[in-house]
């Protein structure tokens, strides 16, 4: 057969030194779009601007299609819930910053070959739904319950393993209140858009994207740890292909700049005028509240404290920061850095692993400060 599917024994590929982004990566990049960073000005990301990542195909679910959520496995009372059943249960809305675990991957050297994110795989939305712990309490988990396996309606093959998209949460996380996991049916006050999981998805505040199962159709409580592909093979921090690795869980702190000034079309270099340029951006961490945001205008050699928005009452969402920069003509590399209440911060050296996961290297933004206008033809 002429197919070019990787097989089960093949580890994810690492690009050769100097190897450019391939057509396979481009195909993923055109499907899975990032947040245009200027949209960080919105507290809540308009859904069409929120980043999207989908491993396989987006299931076709018309607006009025029937949907059932089946909750079974190691429970005393298996449940089958319709959307109307779920909407009749207590409703919670939580503002959450989601970030893909692979954010930053394409900037790593050597580059893990996969969805080639720069730093834009992030977005913030208000998710409305029913707490997962209430569903699990209604079903009654057996005393030997260990994991809560969540299955999406999308199906595909990945490195030779045909699968539904599945991820498990440990029982204590699934039944916890800090964060409180949601089975969500609304995003920013409207039914979920198709690309974000219509009609149902999991929302696990503070955790990287892979945990937030879209097109949720089945929840199965197990008495043994789940060993599906997305749990035991993918989303683990490994230096070598043979390592068992550590699971990817919560979001490491990150700060990003709203791109200052205006861009050059091809290079994306930013152009600003001399004088006071108010830099702004967002900072978040899924581990503990962000307590500090800093800015560097000299490629990370010196750092200045930025003004961080005070407690917003949304502990799982990004916070705004601002810093006034006295820009003088020249070329600059701007950076921002977040630190959280547990002292986690961002490295200046890349944290590398084979999957390119949870890498929160500080951002570098090339800026040209120029006191004249660029020429225009015909002027
Ligand atoms: N069913 C299903 N859920 C999924 C995925 C998927 O491919 N299928 N991708 C996951 C990953 S890796 C990420 S980063 C988030 C992205 O969520 P978003 O597209 O709503 O931003 O969805 C997660 N949930
Ligand atoms: Mo992801």
Amino acid 378: pLDDT: 74
Q: Which ligand is nearest to the CA of 32?
A: 1
The DSSP annotation for 202-264 comes to EE-TTB-GGGS-SSEEEEEEESS----IIIIISSEE-SSTT---EEP-BPPPEEEEPPPSEE-
> So where are the chain's domains?
23-247, 254-369
The answer to whether 255 and 347 have CB atoms below 8 angstroms apart is: no
CB 190 within 8 A of CB 199: no
Q: State residue 44's pLDDT score.
A: 98
If you ran DSSP here, which 8-state letter would residue 138 be given?
A: H
- C-alpha 158 to ligand 2 mean position (Å): 14
- What's the CA-to-centroid distance between 103 and ligand 1, angstroms? 13
* Cβ neighbours around 56 below 10 Å, total: 14
First to last CA, the chain: 60
Please report, for residues 9, 101, 190, 270, the alpha-carbon distance to residue 125 in angstroms, rounded to integers and kept in the order given.
38, 17, 11, 27
Task: Point out the ligand 1 atom lying closest to the alpha carbon of residue 208.
Answer: 14
pLDDT value of position 379: 62
Q: How far apart are CA 216 and CA 200, in angstroms?
A: 5
Q: Which CATH number applies to 23-247? A: 3.90.420.10
| Predicted local confidence at residue 2, as pLDDT | 47
* Cβ(321)–Cβ(307) below 8 Å: yes
Q: Please indicate whether the domains covering 23-247 and 254-369 agree at the CATH topology level.
A: no
Nearest atom (ligand 1) to Cα of 195: 19
Report, at the CATH architecture level, how domain 254-369 is classified. Sandwich (2.60)
Ligand 1, CB cutoff 6 Å, lining residues = 50-55, 98, 100, 152, 154, 165, 196, 209-210, 212-215
Scanning 75-181, the segments in alpha helix (DSSP H) are: 83-87, 132-139, 171-174
Q: Which of 223, 290, 278, 230 is nearest to 254 (CA)?
A: 290
Going residue by residue through the chain (379 aa), what tens digit of pLDDT does each one get?
446 677 776 788 999 999 999 999 999 999 999 999 999 999 999 999 999 999 999 999 998 899 999 999 999 999 999 999 999 999 999 999 999 999 999 999 999 999 999 999 999 999 999 999 999 999 999 999 999 999 999 999 999 999 999 999 999 999 999 999 999 999 999 999 999 999 999 999 999 999 999 999 999 999 999 999 999 999 999 999 999 999 999 999 999 999 999 999 999 999 999 999 999 999 999 999 999 999 999 999 999 999 999 999 999 999 999 999 999 999 999 999 999 999 999 999 999 999 999 999 999 999 999 998 888 787 6
The predicted structure's pLDDT at residue 5: 75
Yes or no: say if 222 and 73 are a contact pair by the CB < 8 Å rule. Answer: yes
From start to end of 244-358, where are the E strands? 246-247, 254-257, 262-263, 270-272, 275-284, 290-296, 304-305, 307-308, 319-327, 330-340
Residue 300 gets the label, from left (phi > 0), alpha (psi -120 to 50) or beta, of: left
Q: Whose CA is nearest to atom 6 of ligand 1?
A: 54
Atom of ligand 1 nearest to the CA of 153: 1
């Amino acid at each position: 057969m002429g197919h070019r599917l990787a097989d089960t024994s093949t580890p994810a590929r690492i690009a050769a030194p100097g190897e450019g982004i391939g057509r396979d990566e481009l195909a993923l990049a055109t499907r899975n779009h990032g947040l245009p960073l200027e949209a960080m000005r919105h507290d809540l990301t308009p859904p069409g601007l929120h980043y999207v990542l989908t491993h396989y195909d987006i299931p076709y679910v018309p607006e009025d299609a029937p949907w059932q959520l089946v909750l079974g496995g190691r429970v005393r009372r298996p449940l089958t819930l319709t959307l109307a059943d779920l909407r009749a249960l207590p409703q919670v809305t939580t503002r959450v910053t989601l970030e893909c675990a692979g954010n930053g991957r394409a900037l790593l050297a050597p580059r893990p070959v996969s969805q080639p994110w720069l730093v834009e795989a992030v977005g913030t939305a208000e998710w409305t739904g029913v707490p997962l712990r209430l569903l699990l309490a209604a079903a009654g988990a057996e005393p030997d319950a260990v994991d809560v396996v969540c299955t999406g309606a999308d199906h595909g093959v990945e490195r030779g393993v045909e699968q539904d998209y599945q991820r498990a949460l440990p029982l204590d996380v699934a039944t916890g209140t800090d964060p409180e996991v949601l089975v969500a049916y609304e995003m920013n006050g409207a039914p979920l858009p198709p690309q974000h999981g219509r009609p149902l998805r999991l929302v696990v505040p503070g955790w990287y994207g892979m945990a937030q199962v879209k097109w949720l159709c089945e929840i199965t409580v197990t008495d043994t740890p789940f060993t599906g592909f997305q749990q035991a093979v993918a989303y683990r921090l490994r230096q070598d292909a043979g390592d068992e690795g550590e699971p990817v869980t919560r979001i490491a702190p990150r700060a990003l700049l709203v791109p200052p000034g205006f861009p050059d079309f091809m290079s994306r270099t930013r152009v600003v005028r001399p004088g006071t340029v108010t830099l702004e951006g967002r900072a978040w961490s899924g581990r503990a509240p962000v307590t500090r945001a800093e800015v560097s205008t000299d490629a990370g050699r010196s750092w200045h404290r930025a003004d961080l928005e005070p407690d917003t009452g949304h502990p799982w969402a990004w916070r705004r920061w601002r810093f006034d920069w006295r820009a003088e003509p020249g070329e600059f590399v701007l950076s921002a850095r977040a630190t959280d209440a547990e002292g986690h911060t961002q490295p200046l050296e890349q944290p590398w692993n084979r999957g390119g996961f949870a890498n929160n290297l500080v951002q570098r933004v090339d800026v040209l400060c120029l006191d004249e206008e660029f020429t225009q033809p015909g002027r």
